[in-house]
Structure 1
Amino acid sequence: MAATPPPQPAAPAMNSPHFIGIGGAGMSGIAKILAQRGARVAGSDAKESATARALRALGATVHIGHDAGHLAAGTDCVVVSSAIREDNPELAAARSRGIPVLHRSDALAAVMAGRRAIAVAGTHGKTTTTSMLAVALRALGLEPGYAIGGDLDTPGSNAENGSGPWFVAEADESDRSFHRYTPEVAVVLNAELDHHANYASLEEVYQSFEVFTGRIRPGGTLVVNADQEGTRELTARLRRAPRADLAVVTYGADPSADVRVVSVVPKGLSSEVTVAMAGRELTFGVSVPGRHYAHNAVAALAAGAAAGVPAAELAPALAAYTGVARRLQPKGEAAGVRVVDSYAHHPTEMTADLEAIRECAGEGRVLVVFQPHLFSRTRELGAEMGRALALADASVVLDIYPAREDPLPGVTSALITDAARGAGADVRPEPDRDAVPELVAGMAKPGDLVLTMGAGDVTDLGPRILERLAGDPGPAVP
């Protein structure tokens, strides 16, 4: 196993922090917690949002647009994510003024300092599993702090300072930022090659997760998936060089798993899960469909038990979780057509969500509106994305959502649509995002289920599709 890295240097004070990109899922959560602790929080974002308004309601100053003038006198640190470029005027101003600049992960590590941390990592399922555990602990009155990469219900519900000893955090591997954390309990859900701008090979992914698990505190616990190929390889590596001060708990359907999934019974948009652990069986409900979400709940159960929460109490408390934004989130129904939103953007996630939705659709068709996320991911995984779309009855594919990346020569959504057609899928490209509501409304019939899918702004199309299905063309789009 990789040697434990040296401790990170102490973070500067965060009494008057400025967040560049404060509306982002990860950034806004840290900003909220600091505001709850009494810090004078300020920041900027590219556009107005419900998240920005929620932060203002907590007393934060949120500017729209980026300008060096937004950096107030007295700012004691500037927090950035990996998406912020060096030419950002606020970042440039901070560097010229000698203001300490913190990466988001260093700020989160500082927020967790002094708490008993549970960090949830993996290529897929981090947000859901972190949310499930945080909600269950809260339902039991344990008042955890938490930071999640998505809202539980209302804008700004992605984080809470909490008054209890535990802090549950989503640990992001995409840029290796999870190497900053020193959890007492760590969860690894899966390990696959993704984030191709930062990982050149699966071997690099394994090495990165080895560093993460190497940072678990002495006497801590690693909860790891027994079913997935990548986590089995990771577990084998750890066992070849075991740490005497680390407990390893496996979960999954594998007969050897310490927390074994006995059954997952679909029940519409929910499921019932039975697990065997510590010589007894427990059955509990999960409020979202799909085996993958059921297994996320089992990971949360195993992590909570590792933290000392009785499994018999935690299992029913998991039923308090009612979903998180964009993780198979129902958006509504109109004209007999249901619309659900999915954050899936990797072929494994797409396949899992489509299989789950297929079970929910019954006799109706599954229609997908898919927006690829990142040029680098599409270049490497576009063909697999296209094959995943063959699980739908028909798909509309938008142009690539660039996020933080610049275009790559020859990388377009055609990589996906060509592969989808080769797999026998009914797929059509639609470069005009604003034409999608009319297009989908013309395709859909009563009983169908429409799935908006992707990590970009495709999520905004769900309400517009519902408006069009209901006969309302919606507001004019400039």
Structure 2
Amino acid sequence: MTDQTAPAGADGLTPPGPALPDLLRRVHMVGIGGAGMSGLARILLARGGQVSGSDARESRGVIALRARGAQVQVGHDPAALTLLDGGPTVVVTTHAAIPADNPELVAARERGIEVLYRPQVLAQLMADYRTLLITGTHGKTSTTSMAVVALQQQGADPSFAIGGELNESGTNAHHGSGEVFVAEADESDGSLLEYRPDVVVVTNIEVDHLDFFGSEQAYVDVFDAFAAQIRPGGTLVVCLDDPGAAAFGGRCAGSLAAGVTVLGYGTGAHADLAPSVPLVAELLEAGAQGTGSSNRVRLAAPVGPGVERSLQVTLPGRHMALNALGALTGAAALLGDPGSIDRLIDGIESFGGVHRRFEFRGRSGGVDLYDDYAHHPTEVRAVLSAARTLVADDRGRRVIAVFQPHLYSRTAEFAEGFAAALSLADEVIVADVYGAREEPQPGVTGRLISDQVTVPAVFVDSISELAPAVAERARPGDVVLIIGAGDITMQAPPILDALSSLS
């Protein structure tokens, strides 16, 4: 790490760790309230930077950043560039959420202020650390979060930036005192290519984000390019239960920079696609236990001593057991000490979950309500498979899925896959599409999905109709799961209120 002295933080104390680059001493962030941007702001503030920003609306995240010293304006206007004395040294934005004609971005370019994307800034913040990055089509946030908690239990106090709030700390980012940085590497727009990691965990590779990449091959190619950026002496960890990740590991074995090791985890269901990748973290047994899972694993060198261990995971589903194993493998590879594995396991077993990852939102009218961010057919299938384990011992209990599709392009591409995944539920309610950054497409609505579901299903074209639709169908003992990456999470309180009439 650098010997430079960091500037004093908002509390007047000198923060631990490397000094901020001069460019990042005064930062203005457009869309500062978003999950990724707010985490970046937290780290900049903790490292002594001055931060201003703007967002479309007031939010809990914006209020929290103001309390930490950020100057935040609600609404987008060039005047926001004057919130910091002397103005910003750089303006930060995101690829997807903020359009290029945003008035603050236009003004910044006119004034000659450099504009960077969030991943470019995160790469600079990680530059002087040993880095563990988690990527893949699904499971990034849960796996990254488990790795963070495992390393915290081991005493590493990592810095981290993740896509959801850890239930343990209620935050999505932290500037730690240690020499380790853990983060998600987002593949959705190719921005993971900004990073030069020491250890990479790839949970799975399955085609997605075709609105950006255009073809399945282009999507796969970005992972290959990312692997080539692992630092010499580093480690690539792949899930050998996923055919895409296993084939990727097979391609990478022997072709990466000098000294880069490729390791595998899982049951090895697709190990034949990567015969030269050793299965060092093996899932021997997996079984439901309460609202989580009880597992037996074998951890071989260089991850562990080669003996069996029990591994309890607080979240249900085989996919979460695999995520836990990936987190363990990545954290152990980063530390390079097989003797640390017991403390890392303790951390995984204490993991309390992440906001909107099979998050329990409450019980009302005898019905349990969970909330999940799943927005791809594979993710929907995984969370509903996990939900089925909660009702497996009682044939009278049912699973009701309440799904909001995310993006018109994804809905059109995967309508059949979503319908097949949702058919794992006993009943399904489908809301209309949450378009996010996309304009509506003729004929693309949630009905494309509900019409193909093979269990009783209904389409509601107004999100305000979800709560009464749930209350009409649910009965005491059921599990209701609201699913989607849009604003459906805001329906949890009205659904709980509507369910109270069942009591």
Of all paired residues, the percent bearing the same amino acid is: 45
Give the root-mean-square deviation of aligned CA atoms.
Answer: 1.7
1:456 to 483, 486, 489: 486
Matched residue SS, 2:433:
coil
Q: Which has the higher contact order (CA 8 A, sep 6+)?
A: 1
1:284 to 305, 311, 318: 311
Check if 1:189 corresponds to 2:203: yes
After the TM superposition, which residues 238-257 of structure 1 pair with which residues of structure 2 at under 5 Å, given as runs?
A: 238-239=252-253, 241-254=255-268, 257=279
After the TM superposition, which residues 69-468 of structure 1 pair with which residues of structure 2 at under 5 Å, given as runs?
A: 69-72=79-82, 73-82=86-95, 83-153=97-167, 157-239=171-253, 241-254=255-268, 257-278=279-300, 279-308=306-335, 309=337, 310-362=340-392, 363=394, 364-420=397-453, 424-468=454-498
Cα distance in 2 for partners of 1:437, 1:372 equals 17
The alpha-carbon deviation at position 466 of structure 1 amounts to: 0.8
> For residues 242 and 189 of structure 1, do their structure 2 counterparts lie closer, same or farther at Cα, with a shift above 3 Å needed?
same
Cα distance in 1 for partners of 2:436, 2:136 equals 21
Cα distance in 1 for partners of 2:116, 2:298 equals 43
Q: After superposition, give the CA deviation of every residue in 1:141-170 in whole Å (9 maximum; x if it has no partner).
A: 211000000111389600001010100000
Cα distance in 2 for partners of 1:154, 1:371 equals 28
Q: After superposition, give the CA deviation of every residue in 1:79-129 in whole Å (9 maximum; x if it has no partner).
A: 111121011111111111111101010011011110111000000000000
Cα distance in 2 for partners of 1:406, 1:179 equals 28
Cα distance in 1 for partners of 2:22, 2:48 equals 16
Task: Tell me if the contact between 2:227 and 2:256 (Cα under 8 Å) persists in the aligned partners.
Answer: no
Q: Where does structure 2 lack aligned partners over 5 or more consecutive residues?
A: 1-19, 272-278, 301-305
Q: Where does structure 1 lack aligned partners over 5 or more consecutive residues?
A: 1-9, 473-478
The alpha-carbon deviation at position 241 of structure 1 amounts to: 3.0
Which residue identity is paired with 1:23? G
Cα distance in 2 for partners of 1:296, 1:264 equals 13
Mean Cα deviation higher: 254-263 or 354-363: 254-263
Task: Tell me if the contact between 2:158 and 2:179 (Cα under 8 Å) persists in the aligned partners.
Answer: yes
Matched residue SS, 2:223:
helix
Q: After superposition, give the CA deviation of every residue in 1:397-438 in whole Å (9 maximum; x if it has no partner).
A: 111111111222332222211221xxx221111111112112
Cα distance in 2 for partners of 1:303, 1:99 equals 38
Cα distance in 2 for partners of 1:296, 1:154 equals 18
The alpha-carbon deviation at position 347 of structure 1 amounts to: 0.3
Cα distance in 2 for partners of 1:383, 1:237 equals 31
Cα distance in 2 for partners of 1:168, 1:377 equals 29
TM-score normalised to structure 2 length: 0.89
Matched residue SS, 2:210:
coil
Check if 1:19 corresponds to 2:23: no
The count of corresponding residues between Structure 1 and Structure 2 is 460
Mean Cα deviation higher: 146-155 or 395-404: 146-155
Mean Cα deviation higher: 346-355 or 382-391: 382-391
Which residue identity is paired with 1:225? C
Cα distance in 2 for partners of 1:467, 1:197 equals 38
